[in-house]
Amino acid sequence: MDTAGQSPSRSARSIPALRWWIGGLLFASTVINYIDRQTLSWLAPYLQSQYHWTNSDYANLAIAFRVAYSIGQTGFGKLMDRIGTRRGLTLSALGYSLVSMLTSLARGFYGLASFRFLLGAAESANWPAATKAVSEWFPKRERGLATALFDSGSSIGAAITPYLTYSIYARWGWRPAFMVPGFLGFLWLIVWRWLYHPPEGHPVISDAELRMIVADKRDVDAQQEGTARPRWRDLLKLPQTWGTIIARSLTDPVFFFIAEWFPIYLVAKGIELKTSLIAVWIPFIAADVGSFFGGTMSGYLIKRGWSVGRARKAVMIYGGIGVTLLIPTIFTTNLYLISFLFAFATFSYAGFTIMANVLPSDLYHSESVASVSGLSGTGAGIGTIVAFKFIGYLSDARQATGTHSFDPIIIVAGLLPFVGMLLVLLLVRNTQATNQGLVRRI
């Protein structure tokens, strides 16, 4: 009787399609994340000149971020499953906003490296938290598109950063360029605390939307009834977990190379950054389009009767193949041809990575989603650390080759996601663990 009496009140002040407003908040958090971390990337050529840093020095700055980010992904993933999405992402946003602003106080290489380490630790919670939020708020047919929405913030953030950074740098120097993203983070935090609650207890969710979300969870919760919360070592015994880890470990380093080394790569190709900003953002916009295309295509195939696993893998197949188009860039120094080939590769990559990010919520029950997402993030972080060390050393060693100094790096970057695709097809499948209810059927 109480429920019936409350329904009109809830409906009268409900927000229509509230889950997509939640998705929009996750998108905004990701945009700010990427502006935070990309600011250094676009200032790097100027800081290298000012402080006489080599590519290996810059690689070590990037690695400082990645070490903390990699450790934090697993640690925060487990923490997120314990304390909840709202509280966990609040702590993360508070931390990365404060660190971003404090970075302006750095006095040299070691100071900057220390702040990058702290930024990596604070930002590491974003993907596990966002993945968990998607599993809490979206039915499985919408999770691909919802993941595409928040993940597309990485591309939008990467596209915005050069314009924002250079406009600030040209007027006031590099230090204020680190303060603006921190201020944006504090603004975001106010909205997050106001709007985000779990759907079952949200004060402004409509009855119809709540029924839809609860109905989608009911079947999988019934399958899991009576089972204990899996430990990390239990999760790591499953081939699905390793497939999820590999899906990001062999693809994320490629996008991070593009996102964090693209300015230095273009300079090595003999291209002037200030005159190429219009072309530079094309690969990041293409990645954004690819995110939505991959998420929409996967959802469409599920609606057509495809199993979740087949729909996800179909997108991963074209994604793994498409990234190989990075390789032809070794034969040209034309900015627009390079931008076009990078754009096709990032479009393809984005579809792949959306499926990689949604796999934890497809395969695992709610209390394990952030943990598995964190493990895959740590795998991606370790892969990126190794890649950045390799990139810094090899690009310095090959400087005498001029515009071809990055050629071996580009070839490897074009092949890694293809190998990842093959391994995911092998590992992510229904097994005995599926029949036992340890993972969901896909």
Number of compact structural domains in the chain: 1
The parent domain of residue 90 ranges over 18-198+231-435
Is residue 3 in some structural domain? no
Q: Which residue has the tokens 């450790």?
A: 71
Percent of the chain, pLDDT > 70?
92
**CA–CA distance, 339 with 345 (Å, rounded to integer):** 10
Domain-embedded: residue 139:
yes
CA 208 from chain centre, in angstroms, equals 31
Residue 441 in domain:
no
Determine the distance from the C-alpha atom of residue 259 to the mean position of all C-alpha atoms in its chain, rounded to a whole number.
Answer: 12
State both tokens at 113: 């490296």
Eight-class DSSP state of 15: P
Closest C-alpha among 29, 34, 36, 28 to residue 182: 36
Distance, CA of 326 to CA of 414 (rounded, Å): 5
- Token pair listed for 65: 């971020």
Give the pLDDT of residue 220.
Answer: 54
70-84, 197-211, 224-238, 338-352: least confidently modelled range: 224-238
Q: What is the CATH number of the domain that holds 270?
A: 1.20.1250.20
Rounded Cα distance, 208 and 213, in Å: 9
pLDDT tens, residue by residue, 231-290 = 777 788 889 999 999 999 999 999 889 878 888 888 888 887 766 666 777 888 898 899
Per-residue confidence band for 31, with pLDDT thresholds at 50, 70 and 90: very high
Tokens of 76: 């925060």
Whole-number Å distance between alpha carbons of 82 and 76: 10
Q: Is residue 224 part of a domain?
A: no
Average the pLDDT over 79-97 and give the result: 87
**Pick from 10, 376, 400, 370: nearest CA to 203:** 10
Tell me whether residue 211 is in a domain.
Answer: no
Backbone angles phi, psi at 272, to 5 degrees: -80, 125
| Token duo for residue 4 | 């019936």
The token pair at 14 is 């409900």
| Residue 312 lies inside a defined structural domain of this protein | yes
Cα separation of 334 and 225, whole Å?
59
204 is a domain residue: no
Burial of residue 148 (CB within 10 Å: 0-12, 13-18, 19+) is buried
- Give the pLDDT band of residue 341 (cuts 50, 70, 90): very high
Average pLDDT over every residue of 209-227: 66
Per-residue pLDDT, averaged over 220-224, amounts to: 52
Q: How far apart are CA 29 and CA 32, in angstroms?
A: 5
The answer as to whether 219 is a domain residue is no
H-type helices in 252-307, by residue range?
Answer: 252-268, 277-280, 282-303
Q: What is the pLDDT of residue 249?
A: 93
Mean pLDDT of the region 219-224 = 52
Residue written as tokens 């006031």?
172
The answer to whether 65 touches 120, Cβ cutoff 8 Å, is yes
Task: Assess whether pLDDT exceeds 70 at residue 226.
Answer: no
Q: Whole-number mean pLDDT of the chain?
A: 85
